Amino acid sequence: MDSILVIGNGLLYGQIPIAGAKNACLALMPATLLSDEPLTLTNAPRLSDIRTMTTLLQSLGAEVTALADGKVLALSSHAIDNHRADYDIVRKMRASILVLGPMLAREGHAVVSLPGGCAIGARPVDLHLRALEAMGAELDLRDGYVHAKAPAGGLKGGTIDFPIVSVGATENALMAATLARGTTVIKNAAREPEIVDLAQCLRRMGAQIDGDGTSEITVEGVDRLGGATHPVVTDRIELGTYMLAPAIAGGEVELLGGRIDLVGAFCEKLDAAGISVEETEAGLKVSRKNDRVQAVDVTTEPFPGFPTDLQAQMMALLCTAKGTSVLEEKIFENRFMHAPELMRMGARIDVQGGTASVSGVERLKGAPVMATDLRASVSLILAGLAAEGETLVNRVYHLDRGYERVEEKLSACGARIERIRVS
C-alpha cells in the first residue's frame, strides 16, 4: 500500500486547478441508466471511486468509455442486460446504491447489494428505500441485497418527506421520479450543489424538475429521457481542502475554477480565523494574513452549512490556532478518527462524543500516521505541510478515492511531498 511523505517547509505559492466533483460525478453516472441514449460527462475527475462506478455500470450492461485522459466519460445504457448490482463491487463504495432508483424506474426491477463505504458511522440506506416505497416500489431485504420491484405500469409519483437531510437519498429519489407517472414532491430535500448539478443534467436529458437547490423539489414524470452532454460541477471539497494548504503552511495560492458560492460557510470560518479569500478572474486566491490563525468554532451541517467533508481538514488548521476551537460533528458519528493521528503530531485535542476541543499549539511535529478515511487522509497531509520534520501518511488508498494527483498539485506550489510506492 502506498504512503505519502511530507516534509514541512512552510510557504506555498502558485496555482492549483480544481477538478470536477467526485460526489456529483458519482450521482451523474448512474443517470445513464435512465435512458437508452448516450450521456457524456465532461470535467470528470480521475479517481478510483469513478473507476468503481464505471465497473459497476459496466457489470449491468452499460457502456462506459473514458476519453481525454479520463476527463470525459461517454456512457450509454441502450442495453441493460443485468439487473443485479453485486456485493463484490457495491461493498467498495456506498454511492453504488445510486443505481437502484434509476434501474427501478426504467426497468421496473433491480437487485442491489447493501453498500459499504468509509468507516464513518452506521450510514444506513433506509431513507433511499423509503423514498422508493413512496413511489410504489415493493422492497424485500434478503441475503444482504435489496430486491426491488416497481408496480405494474411503473413507479408512480408520490410525496417523500425525509425526516433528515440525505444527499444520496435525495439523488436516488430525484432520478427515480423523472420516469415515474405523475408528480413527485421531495420534502426536506438536500440542497447541495451536487443535487443542483444532477437536476441540471436530468433536465438536459428531458426531465421536468423544479426547486432543486431548495428543500422542496417537484418532479413531473416523463415517458422517456434522451441523451445529453453535461459538465460536472467543480469539486467544492477538493476546493476547500486546497484552500487550507496556504492557510496552514502560509503563502498565497490561487485555486483555479474555485467559486465562493460553493464554499460560503467555509469561507466565513476562514475569515474569522484570519485567512484572506479573494475572488479572481480564474477562481479564488487564498493567503494567511497573520502569523498564527485564530481559534474558531465549527459545526457541520447540510449545505449551505459547513460541510462535514471539510471538518477533518479544518481541524488540521485549528491545531495550530491561537486559543481553543470547538468542532461539532452533526452529520456522522465516529468522524474524528483523524484526531488521534493529529495528536501523534503534537496536537492537543479532546474528543467527547460528537464534539472535539482543539487547543492550538505553536507548531506540529512530523510523525508516522495512519489514514483512516478519505478526508482524514488529506487532513494529515495538510497538517504535515507545516509540521516540523517528516510526516509519513500510511495507507493512502483512501486518498486516491477522492483526490487526483495530490502530490503533483501541492508540489507545484513548492510543497515537499512525494508518494512512496509499495508494490
List contacts with ligand UD1 (CB under 6 A). Answer: 23, 26, 94-95, 121-128, 164, 166-169, 194, 308-309, 331-332
Local structure of residue 70 (DSSP, 8 states): G
- Least Å from the CB of residue 52 to ligand UD1: 11
- Least Å from the CB of residue 405 to ligand UD1: 20
Q: How far, in Å, CA of 298 to CA of 310, rounded?
A: 10
Q: How far, in Å, CA of 129 to CA of 146, rounded?
A: 9
Phi and psi dihedrals of 210, rounded to 5?
A: -135, 145
Helical ranges in 260-405 per DSSP H: 264-273, 311-318, 338-344, 374-386, 397-402
39-42/208-210 β-pairing = unpaired
The CA angle 108-94-317, to the nearest 5 degrees, is 145
In the complex, residue closest to ligand UD1 by CB: 168
Local structure of residue 92 (DSSP, 8 states): T
- Least Å from the CB of residue 56 to ligand UD1: 13
Helical ranges in 108-192 per DSSP H: 126-134, 167-178
Q: Which is nearer to ligand UD1, 106 or 191 (CB)?
A: 191
Q: Which is nearer to ligand UD1, 168 or 346 (CB)?
A: 168
Q: Which is nearer to ligand UD1, 55 or 411 (CB)?
A: 55
Q: Which is nearer to ligand UD1, 192 or 254 (CB)?
A: 192
Q: How far, in Å, CA of 8 to CA of 417, rounded?
A: 9
- Least Å from the CB of residue 189 to ligand UD1: 11
Classify each residue of 385-395 as buried b or exposed e, where b means 16 or more C-beta atoms within 10 Å of its C-beta: bbbeeebbbbe
Q: Which of 118, 201, 267, 319 is catalytic?
A: 118
Q: Which is nearer to ligand UD1, 360 or 402 (CB)?
A: 402
CB 94 within 8 A of CB 117: yes
Residue type, 117: G
118 is catalytic: yes
At 250, list the grid cell.
Answer: 502560509
Q: Which is nearer to ligand UD1, 111 or 167 (CB)?
A: 167
Q: How far, in Å, CA of 303 to CA of 195, rounded?
A: 10
Q: Annotated active-site positions, please?
A: 118
